[in-house]
Amino acid sequence: MKIFLKIISTLLAVMIVFVPLSALAGEVHNTYICPRIYIHGLMAVPIQRDKNDKNSEVIFPPSTEKILSAVTGALPKLGLSLASGGLKGFGDEACRVANELMSEAYLDQNGNVKDNSGVYFEYPEASSIKKDSKLSFDYDWRVDPVETAAQLNDFVDYVLRCSGAQKVNLSAHSLGGVILITYISIYGYEKVHGACFNSSAVFGESYTGDLMKGEMSFSGDAFDYFLHYLIDETEYQYLLSAVTDAAAKLGVFSAAAFASNELLEAVKESLFNQVMLPLFCHWLTIWAMVPDEDIEEGVENVFGNIAKDQDYSELIGKIEKYNTLVRSGKKETLAKLNENANVYVIARYGYPSIPITPSYSKLTDGTIDVKYASFGAVTSLYKESLSEEYLADADPEYISPDKSVDASKCMFPEQTWFIRSFKHYSMPDSVVNFTDLLLEQAEQASVDTFEKYPRFLVYDYENDTILPDTNYQSPTLVSSIKNILNDVIKLIRFLIRKISG
C-alpha cells in the first residue's frame, strides 16, 4: 500500500510541475490527420512538349536562351519596321516576335490542346501514400477548370484509396482556388475535411477583367507604384525607393507613360489579335478569373468585337458552362462547404496591381485584389488608408493596423487571415506550415484560436516568418533617412569588397 501511495504521490508531483509548463510551451488543440493535397496556381509548373514524358522539352515558359535568340534575331527587322512604319510598324513586328515565342503554349480556338503538350504528372506510388502524406496535384493550367476538376476528383479518390483515410485536406493557391471551387461545385464536399484558399482567385482579379474588356492604359503613378512593388524586400530597397521617388517627382514616369500609351495605341489591335487572343483568350482558366461583374462585357468585347468574324461558339459554350456550374453559385457552394468542412481564407496585401490597366491602384498582393482573395473585405487604394469617415463607423477589431483593410465584410470574417507585405508568387515554408496547422485542426479554427496567428499578420522577409501585425507605424522622415543611409553604407561596403578583390 505504501508503495502504491508513493507512486501516486510521484505522479501527482510530476503533473503539478509539468502540466503548467506544457501549457506555457504552447496551445494544445485536437488534430485530425488526413492527406493534404496542394493545388498550385497559374504557370507554377512548366508545359512540356510531351505530357507523358517527364524528360521532354519545356515549351512554356520559353527559356531565357530562346527569348534572347528571338529578340536578337528580330532586332534588324524591328529597326527597319520602326524606320518605315513608325510606332505601328515597330509594334506589329514586336507582336509577331511575341506570337512566335508564345505559340507553343496556344490552345485552339475551342480551348483544346492542339498537340500532346501539357504538364507531366505521375501519381505517387500507392505504398508511399499515408494518412499524413503531403501531396501536390499538378495540372495543365491552360485547360478548362471543369476538366481539371475531374482529374482532381480522380486523384482524391486514389489518395483516399491508398491511404485508407476517409477525407483529405485541400490547400489551394491562386488559380488553384478556381480549381478547388470547381471541384466542390461539381463533386461536392463529402471527401473534404478542410479547405484553405490561400490568395486565391475564386472571385477573380481586376486586371484580368480589364484586359478582357480591352481597357489598357499606362500612367506615371502606375509605373511608380509597380517599381516600388518590385523594389520591396530587395537588399537596397530603401535606397532604390528614394531613387524611384525622385524619378517620379522629376516626371520620368509620366513621360514614360505618355510614350507607352502612344505605343499601346499604335499596337493595340496587333497585340490583341496576335498575342492575347490566341494565348489568354483561349485559356478557359483566364476566363474563370474574370470577376463576375466583368464577365459579360469581357465576352462581348472579345467575341462580339475583336473576333466577331470567327467561330468561337464552342469556346463560348465552355465559358457559359463554367458560369452555370460554378460562377453563378460560388457563394452558395462556399457556404455549404463551410457547413460541412473546415474552411480557411488567407489574403495577402500591401501592393498595387499590374501597371497596364486602370486597376493599377487597387490594393493587391501584386496580382489578386485583397477584396477578392478575402471573399469580400473592404479596402483602401494602394498607398492610402480607409477614410476617417469610414473608420469612424467601423468596428476597430476588424480594421488592419495600417487602416487599409476592413475584414468585417468578408464572407467568413473569423476564418480569414490577412498577411501584410507578402507577395503573391511567394510560398515560403512559414506560410506552408501555417496553412498545414490550420488544416490539421479537428474542429474549425478561427482568428482567435492561435495567439501567434491573429487576424492581421505581417511577413518578415529577412527571417522568413509571419508575425502578428501589432506594431505597425507609418514611416517617418527620420526613419526613412536612417534606412536610406544604412543602404548607402551597405552599398559602399559591398563596392569596397569588390574593388579589394
Residues 40 and 173 in one domain: yes
Residues 349 and 461 in one domain: yes
- Distance, CA of 159 to CA of 170 (rounded, Å): 12
Q: 490561400: which residue's cell? A: 198
DSSP annotation of 476 reads P
Give percent helix, percent strand, percent coil of the chain, each to the nearest 5: 55, 15, 35
What's residue 494's pLDDT?
73
Beta pairing partners, 174: 200
Residues 355 and 450 in one domain: yes
What's residue 501's pLDDT?
64
Residue 18 is assigned to a structural domain of this protein: no
What's residue 472's pLDDT?
67
pLDDT tens digits, 122-156: 999 999 999 999 999 999 999 999 999 999 999 99
Backbone angles phi, psi at 466, to 5 degrees: -110, 135
Output the nine-digit C-alpha cell for 329.
453559385
- Distance, CA of 78 to CA of 429 (rounded, Å): 44
Encoded amino acid at 131, one letter: K
What's residue 159's pLDDT?
98
Residue 99 is assigned to a structural domain of this protein: yes
Residues 201 and 332 in one domain: yes
Output the nine-digit C-alpha cell for 95.
507582336
Angle separating helix axes 313-325 and 145-163, nearest 10 degrees? 50
- Distance, CA of 103 to CA of 61 (rounded, Å): 11
- Distance, CA of 225 to CA of 360 (rounded, Å): 8
Residue 491 is assigned to a structural domain of this protein: no
Last residue of a domain, one of 113, 142, 166: 113
Tally Cβ neighbours within 10 Å of residue 476. Answer: 9
What's residue 27's pLDDT?
56
Residues 343 and 462 in one domain: yes
DSSP structure string for 447-460: TTT-TTS-SEEEEE
41: domain CATH number?
3.40.50
Closest CA to 290 of 260, 258, 321, 327: 327
Beta pairing partners, 460: 465
Residue 339 is assigned to a structural domain of this protein: yes
Q: In what order do the strands lie in the sheet with 456-460?
A: 134-137, 36-39, 168-174, 192-200, 342-349, 416-420, 456-460, 465-468
Residue 270 is assigned to a structural domain of this protein: no
Tally Cβ neighbours within 10 Å of residue 275. Answer: 22
Residue 76 is assigned to a structural domain of this protein: yes
Residues 464 and 381 in one domain: yes
What's residue 267's pLDDT?
83
Residue 311 is assigned to a structural domain of this protein: no
Beta pairing partners, 351: 364
Residues 431 and 347 in one domain: yes
| 99 and 105 Cβ atoms separated by less than 8 Å | no
Structural domain for 102, as ranges: 46-113
| 38 and 136 Cβ atoms separated by less than 8 Å | yes
Beta pairing partners, 405: 379
Residues 428 and 347 in one domain: yes
What's the length of the chain? Answer: 501
Q: Which residues, 6 or more positions from 374, have their beta carbon under 8 angstroms from its beta carbon? A: 345, 347, 405, 407, 410, 416, 418
Angle separating helix axes 145-163 and 175-187, nearest 10 degrees? 70
Residue 54 is assigned to a structural domain of this protein: yes
Residues 174 and 77 in one domain: no
Residues 426 and 378 in one domain: yes
DSSP structure string for 247-299: HHHTTHHHHHHHHHHHHHHHHHHHHIIIIITTTGGG-HHHHHTS-GGGHHHHH
Residues 348 and 457 in one domain: yes
Tally Cβ neighbours within 10 Å of residue 473. Answer: 8
- Distance, CA of 238 to CA of 500 (rounded, Å): 26
Last residue of a domain, one of 113, 141, 167: 113
Low-confidence spans in the chain with pLDDT less than 50 = 1-26
Encoded amino acid at 115, one letter: D
pLDDT tens digits, 8-54: 444 334 343 333 433 333 455 799 999 999 999 999 999 999 999 99
- Distance, CA of 380 to CA of 392 (rounded, Å): 15
Beta strands at 168-174 and 192-200: parallel, antiparallel or unpaired: parallel
| 370 and 420 Cβ atoms separated by less than 8 Å | no
Residues 103 and 189 in one domain: no
What's residue 374's pLDDT?
98
Q: What is the pTM of this model?
A: 0.89
Q: Which residues, 6 or more positions from 187, have their beta carbon under 8 angstroms from its beta carbon? A: 149, 153
Q: How many domains does the chain have?
A: 2
